[in-house]
Structure 1
Amino acid sequence: MPATDLSLLVKAAEQAGDIACRFSGPEAKRWDKPGGAGPVTEADLAVNAMLEDMLQQARPGYGWLSEETEDNDVRLLREKVFIIDPIDGTRSFAEGSRTWAHSFAVADHGKVTAAVIYLPQRELMYTAAKGQGADCNGNPIQVSPATELSSSEVLAAKPNLQAHHWLGGTPPEFIRSYRPSLAYRLAKVADGRFGAMLTLRPSWEWDIAAGDLLIREAGGILTDQTGRPLCFNNPHPRLNGVVAGNPALQNSLLTALDPNAPGIAGH
């Protein structure tokens, strides 16, 4: 019997983790991408090469969008597309931290239908399939039940609290925390450890796609910073920020944001 998209992504994530963990963070060869696009390591490229071969061979009719593959318009002609971040949190990986993740998704007509976020060095495998709920290591997960933003932990970088992003120039009260990987932040909202997360900068689809389904299947809501639902496999694959959380906290953040504020330069 052919593997489902989710089981295929899980197998790919396990193999990706094996490859990435062969490299010793700070000792892995590293260089900066052109145009200030951030760092890349030999581990990113090794994982991406394996994924290109494995996933496209298994699903030759699917499109391909990956942070480490030069983009082209072919994917726009496909109903289904892989959206891949070989290593999310490359800086953390290169510094020897364990808070980096593999983030893989399949989108069908712009909506994510299968997703995996895997942190091999923390032994955390987050999975979701459309209509089937979300799990971590095989156990069902749900977003936080918290209703009061002021007493909730929200994952956000400090620049997101700058006055010009918020109506009245004052961000709402909440307990701010941070994790360097966007995929990991989304997973920790899906499993209820944090009530919500936000990033107000334009965000690449490969950082967000897997977490989008995880949060929705765990009972949460995820939109851009103006409250619009996310659609994936866009010609220019960047999203207008992300606000995610359980319904109450996500709505509280959206209500407090100025929808006309510009995005910020860092997340």
Structure 2
Amino acid sequence: MPEREDDLSLLVDAARRAGEIAARHWKQGPQIWDKPGGEGPVTAADLAVDEMLRTTLTAARPDYGWLSEETPDTPARLSQRRTFIVDPIDGTRAFIDGSRDFAHSLAIADRGQVTAAVVYLPVKNRLFAAALGRGATLNGAPLAASTRDVEDQATILTSRPNLRPEHWRDAPPPVARHFRSSLAYRLALVGQGRFDGMITLRDSWEWDIAAGALIVAEAGGAISDRHDQRLVFNNPVPQLPGVLAAAPALHRQLMARLVSAA
């Protein structure tokens, strides 16, 4: 099988260590910087978690590539069969605001396909995990995605701009909109079945999506980019053209309505 048997255990242990570091900074007024190019804030906690993860994971798997939001990217990862794809803290603004909804997002991609994944919310003590062909779990209990088959009042995690009329044929879908700051957490919640789907139509960084994408798929949900194409990771430019994840029948209905699917 493409995944090393202990890759998931490696990610789980690393995510828990990341949570310990984040907890020491949370609500403690960590130092904050603005990234260049309007890419948002970064804190001392992001950098400390990134350093620990990079050191720990690459020491355990020296033949794996490395892609992280907080590490300068290099082409070296493109020649590796397997690559770590990591967001040290997904939902940094939530972290800064003292919200409990930030997450650590850790994944391993094998030739473009995610094979092991963890999304961990340390303050909530929620650890979502998945391995290719082995299902998805929350704190060890199996997950099952929603089976909703109609749009009417489907619960969708998305920001308001994604439901503007110009994105949809005829009219936006009649869904109940909800929101969480962390993209990884939104995807994990779809895998859990707490929400029927999530939509982001903006280009999205791989480190926000990789772990949650496997959790959705292994829980029985459907996931694609905004053009209804399969998600492929570890690209030269590590971005995906939006993401739509939902119960399978609902995914088909939303995709048929979405203008950008054409």
Taking structure 1 as the reference length, the TM-score comes to: 0.95
Q: Does 1:77 align with 2:79?
A: yes
How many positions carry a matched residue from both structures? Answer: 259
Contact 1:26 1:96 in 2 (8 A): no
Q: What SS does structure 1 have at the residue aligned with 2:214? A: helix
The one-letter code matched in structure 1 to 2:196 is G
**What is the CA deviation profile of residues 121-150 of structure 1, one whole-angstrom value per residue up to 9, with x for unaligned ones?**
001000000000000000000001211211
CA distance in structure 1 between the aligned counterparts of 2:247 and 2:98, rounded to whole angstroms = 32
Which residue matches 2:210?
209
Which residue matches 2:128?
126
**What is the CA deviation profile of residues 8-37 of structure 1, one whole-angstrom value per residue up to 9, with x for unaligned ones?**
000000000000000133611111100001
Q: Which runs of 5+ in 2 are unaligned?
A: none
The one-letter code matched in structure 1 to 2:236 is P
The match for 2:141 among 139, 142, 145 is 139
Q: What SS does structure 1 have at the residue aligned with 2:123? A: helix
CA distance in structure 1 between the aligned counterparts of 2:223 and 2:23, rounded to whole angstroms = 31
Taking structure 2 as the reference length, the TM-score comes to: 0.97
The one-letter code matched in structure 2 to 1:180 is S
Contact 2:127 2:139 in 1 (8 A): yes
Matches for 1:75-114 after TM superposition, within 5 Å: 75-114=77-116
Q: Does 1:46 align with 2:54?
A: no
CA distance in structure 2 between the aligned counterparts of 1:76 and 1:25, rounded to whole angstroms = 37
Q: What SS does structure 2 have at the residue aligned with 1:243? A: strand
Contact 2:226 2:261 in 1 (8 A): no
**What is the CA deviation profile of residues 149-175 of structure 1, one whole-angstrom value per residue up to 9, with x for unaligned ones?**
11210011000011111113x111111
CA distance in structure 2 between the aligned counterparts of 1:139 and 1:188, rounded to whole angstroms = 14
Q: Does 1:36 align with 2:42?
A: no
Greater than 4 Å deviation, 4+ residue runs: none
CA distance in structure 2 between the aligned counterparts of 1:139 and 1:44, rounded to whole angstroms = 29
Which residue matches 1:179?
180
Which residue matches 1:117?
119
Q: What SS does structure 2 have at the residue aligned with 1:84? A: strand
Matches for 1:231-242 after TM superposition, within 5 Å: 231-242=232-243
The one-letter code matched in structure 2 to 1:181 is S
Q: Which runs of 5+ in 1 are unaligned?
A: 262-267
Q: What is the alpha-carbon root mean square deviation over aligned residues?
A: 1.2
Contact 1:204 1:237 in 2 (8 A): yes
